[in-house]
Amino acid sequence: MPPTRLGAGAGTPGARSACCCSIAPPDLLARVIEEGSAEQRSAAVQTIAASASLRARRALVGRVARELGPQVRALAYAQAPPPPEDSRQTVYDVEGRGQSALPGKRVRGSGDAAVADDAVNEVFDSTEATYDFYSSCYGRDSVDGQGMELVSSVHFSRNFDNAFWNGSQMVYGDGSGQIFQVGALVRARDVIGHELTHAVTEFTAGLEYSTQPGALNESFSDVFGSLVKQHSLGQAADQADWLIGEGTLVPSLGTALRSMKAPGTAYSGDRQPASMADYVDLPDDGNPENDNGGVHINSGIPNHAFYLAATAIGGNAWEKAGKIWYQTLTGGQLTPSATFEDAAKASLAVASELFGEGAEHAAVAGAWQQVGVLP
């Protein structure tokens, strides 16, 4: 029996924009529904249903944030009492409740000491690390480039197996122990960096969450999620594991959510291709198994291109390869409907602009050629 189709707008023309950028690959959840234990099936159905309920709001707020001015945008993000002017972030506790309770009870903000709740402290520290990464490496002031306060809510719903950017804030589930290990999502710095990068994309290129532009959307989040982790650990490109969400899944499902070094090897049933020769052509029809037209699946191709470019250039990946990818994402080179080829050509133009026609340009060109995006 095929997986149940859940989610507003399934199969309609508007479905491609009405999605929630979440860390859990929906095709993995769909496979668990088909093949998992009774407990795993229940957890996967709950996660898909809860994630779907947030899609329409994210689509609306994302459009407002991208297209309208700062004053109107501020109204869209006014879910909680105004923070102090110098506040970079605030963490809230939803206390097991759902969307209507967001953001929840304020627990910790900028300048506050650590609290007794480890989930709050983990999210606070990784959000701070992501803010510092974008600021120190690329001169970006928060996800919107204008110092927007980062709002996070922990303990969303009950045993919720996901973490996501909902268009205005970060939301974290605790994990059920059936799909994600309990507490693992808030401990994974690359997951937090990944999700916050969806906000950066929303404020810049605005890549549609469908087929190739959606796969680019996911890939940019994986790239900068990995770089946030590498930057925090002081790892050079040849020292990094290039895994996204390593150790977050229960061991029976796999070791990570994605591998940028070896796409298709992260978990049992991982369908990520490493090159266009194995591109998975899927419809964006609302079926979780089809993953919005393969956004988490085909992101393996640009992911691997970045890995190849970064390791060919060497050194700290955020310094050169990361700078090229950052400028490609935020500099106006990409339209919301950009394809892999568009991103490849844009990154080559940026590499030339930043570093000339030398080793960096050659590494980027070679990477896109190896994955079959460029001839």
- At residue 350's C-alpha, the angle toward residues 348 and 353, to 5°, is 110
d(CA 285, CA 72): 32
Higher pLDDT, 10 or 20: 20
CB 272 within 8 A of CB 300: yes
Residue % of the chain over a pLDDT of 70 = 85
**Shared domain check, 289 and 323:** yes
Please write the tens of the pLDDT for every residue from 27-42. 888 878 888 888 888 8
Check whether residue 294 and residue 345 sit in a common domain: yes
Residues 232-254: pLDDT tens digits?
A: 999 999 999 999 999 999 999 99
Dihedral, CA of residue 202, residue 163, residue 40 and residue 229, to nearest 10? 100
Q: What is the pLDDT of residue 16?
A: 38
pTM of the model: 0.88
Tokens at 122, concatenated: 């983990």
Q: Is residue 4 part of a domain?
A: no
Which of the four pLDDT bands, split at 50, 70 and 90, describes residue 84? low
Q: From 203, 219, 242, give the residue that closes a domain.
A: 203
Asked if the model's pLDDT at residue 96 lies above 80, the reply is yes
More confident residue, 117 or 288: 117
Please indicate, yes or no, if residue 271 is contained in any of the structural domains: yes
Last residue of one domain, picked from the residues 185, 203, 221: 203
Residues 88 and 173 in one domain: yes
Q: Which pLDDT score is estimated for 49?
A: 72
Q: Report which of residues 22 and 154 the model is more confident about.
A: 154
pLDDT value at 93 more than 80? yes
Q: Is there a domain that residue 7 lies in?
A: no
Among residues 203, 229, 259, which one ends one of the domains?
203
Query: Residues 264, 137: one domain?
Result: no
Q: Residue 53's pLDDT band (boundaries 50, 70, 90)? A: low
The residue-averaged pLDDT of 113-134 equals 98
Q: What residues act catalytically? A: 195, 296
Kindly report the CATH number assigned to the domain that includes residue 227.
1.10.390.10
In a domain, 2, yes or no: no
Residue 346 belongs to some domain of the structure:
yes
Residue 54 pLDDT grade (very low, low, confident, very high; cuts 50, 70, 90): low
Rounded CA gap, 103 and 156, in Å? 9
Residue with the bigger pLDDT between 68 and 49: it is: 49
Interval 147-173 mean pLDDT: 93
Range with the poorest average pLDDT among 26-30, 72-76, 193-197, 350-354: 72-76
Within 10 A of 284 (CB to CB), how many other CB atoms are there? 22
Task: Kindly state whether residues 130 and 56 are assigned to the same domain.
Answer: yes
Distance of CA 367 to the CA centre of its chain: 22
The enclosing H or E element of 191 equals helix 189-203
Q: Phi and psi at residue 361, in whole multiples of 5°? A: -60, -45
Q: Does 20 share its domain with 140?
A: yes
Q: What is the pLDDT of residue 24?
A: 82
Binning pLDDT at 50, 70 and 90, where does residue 83 land? Answer: low
Give the model's pLDDT for residue 33: 85
> Is 308 within the bounds of a domain?
yes
**What pLDDT was estimated at residue 88?**
94
Task: Kindly state whether residues 129 and 259 are assigned to the same domain.
Answer: no
Q: Is residue 3 part of a domain?
A: no
153 contacts 93 by C-beta, under 8 angstroms = yes
Query: What CATH number is associated with residue 192?
Result: 3.10.170.10
Q: Is 145 within a domain?
A: yes
Are 196 and 216 found together in one domain? no
Total structural domains in the chain? 2
pLDDT mean across residues, the chain: 88
Q: 125 is written with which tokens?
A: 């520290």
Can you tell me whether residue 89 is helix, strand or coil? strand
Q: Are residues 173 and 299 in the same domain?
A: no
Q: What is the 3-state secondary structure (H, E, C) of 267-328?
A: ECCCCCCCCHHHCCCCCCCCCHHHHHHHCCCCCHHHHHHHHHHHHHHCCCCCCCHHHHHHHH
For 229, half-sphere exposure in the C-beta direction (CA atoms, 13 angstrom radius) is: 23
109/233 same-domain check: no
CB 77 within 8 A of CB 142: no
What pLDDT band is residue 219 in, cutting at 50, 70 and 90? very high
Q: Residue 59 pLDDT > 90, yes or no?
A: no
How long is the chain? 375
* Structural domain for 145, as ranges: 13-203
Residues 276 and 358 in one domain: yes
Per-residue pLDDT band for 51 (boundaries 50, 70, 90) equals low
pLDDT tens by residue, 262-314: 999 999 899 999 999 999 999 999 888 899 999 999 999 999 999 999 999 99
196 shares its domain with 329: no
The sign one gets for the Cα dihedral 167, 110, 50, 47 is positive
